[in-house]
Amino acid sequence: FQMSAYRKIQVHTLSSNFREATHIVEAEHRELKRDEVLLKNIWVGINASDINYTAGHYRPGLSPPFDAGFEAISKVERCGEGVKHLKEGEIVVSTSFSAFGEYQYLKASRCVPVPQLTPGMLPLIVSGLTASLSLEFVGRMSSNETVLVTAAAGATGSFAVQLAKLNGNHVIGTCSSDEKGRFLTQLGCDRVVNYRKEKLGDVLKREYPKGVDLVYECVGGDMYDTCVQNLAVKGRIVVIGMISGYEDQSTWANKNPA
């Protein structure tokens, strides 16, 4: 292993426009701390939330320059002296705030070994865990209920659909195209709503007059309002995100009045 410089993406200006917020910089390799590993990133995951991060919403008070990127699948290049559960050459997935680089220095405790170097492992610990923790613990997911997932064909939505189905629920998923609709049917969705062809509110009023028991809501804005208006008695809505307002920052408008 050669101690030369490596490239990473760094935020230099707070903005939800990723291209305007970031640039590529060279970083110097350094000594490892006892509990750290040096990872050579092979694939990184790009998330909707990345532009909230570059805009400074996730870690208020943090000012540029700072690194970006939440998830990576990587090869362990070197281990600090105190690292017990990982070894050099192993493949790991990790969550961090510095995944968008050729290498990253990370606490070993943030890394989970995986059996294969395949990008399919990448979304498990961010998108997959988000779905599982949110449905099971926050949403108190049960069986034989009606579960609605918005942005269902997206990264975390597609996990939510599968988990809700595996738990024995009737699953409704929203998406914007027939192609995504077919994907959702394959995942086990019982009712796909392509919102460009049908109005979700009309479908719910007509086909689910008792309302929806649990909503995994990713979109915000009008979609959120429709979900709230169609909740069943004792229904739960878990707000996962508000992607419809990220680009124009309307999601954050109340926090940052003009």
Ligand X SMILES: NC(=O)c1ccc[n+]([C@@H]2O[C@H](COP(=O)([O-])OP(=O)(O)OC[C@H]3O[C@@H](n4cnc5c(N)ncnc54)[C@H](OP(=O)(O)O)[C@@H]3O)[C@@H](O)[C@H]2O)c1
Minimal distance in Å, beta carbon 173 to ligand X?
A: 9
In angstroms, give the least distance from the CB of 163 to ligand X: 13
Q: How far apart are CA 212 and CA 210, in angstroms?
A: 7
Cβ distance to ligand X smaller for residue 47 or 104: 47
CB of 27 to ligand X, least distance (A): 26
Reading phi first (left if > 0) and then psi (alpha if -120 to 50, else beta), residue 168 is in left
Residue 41: what are its φ and ψ, rounded to 5°? -75, 135
In the complex, which residue's CB is closest to ligand X? 241
Nearer to ligand X, 59 or 87 (CB): 59
Residue with tokens 């796909």: 192
Question: Minimum Å distance from CB 256 to ligand X?
Answer: 17
When computed from its CA atoms, the radius of gyration of the chain, rounded to whole angstroms, is 21
- What are the structure tokens assigned to 18, written together? 């990723």
Q: Please, what is the minimum distance in Å from the beta carbon of residue 175 to ligand X?
A: 4
Nearest 5°: the CA angle 248, 174, 221 is: 30
The least CB distance from residue 243 to ligand X, in Å, is 4
Residue 90 CB contacts under 8 Å (≥ 6 apart), including other chains: 75, 76, 113
Cβ-based nearer residue to ligand X, 76 or 242? 242
Q: Rounded to the nearest whole angstrom, what is the least distance from the CB of residue 214 to ligand X in the complex?
A: 16
**Residue 31: DSSP 8-state:** P
Name the residue nearer to ligand X (CB basis): 73 or 219: 219
The β-bridge relationship of strands 191-194 and 212-217 is unpaired
Cα 48 from Cα 154, distance rounded (Å):
10
Residue 138 CA to residue 40 CA, distance in Å, equals 35
| Strand boundaries in 28-161, DSSP class E | 36-45, 66-67, 71-79, 91-95, 103-107, 111-113, 146-149
Q: Which has the closest alpha carbon to 147: 56, 240, 221?
A: 240
Cβ closer to ligand X: 36 or 217?
217
Nearer to ligand X, 38 or 47 (CB): 47
In the numeric block, the tokens 């108190």 are attached to 140
- 69 vs 241, which CB is nearer to ligand X? 241
Q: Which spans of this chain sit near ligand X (rule: CB under 6 A)?
A: 47-49, 126-127, 130, 151, 153-157, 175-176, 180, 218-219, 240-244
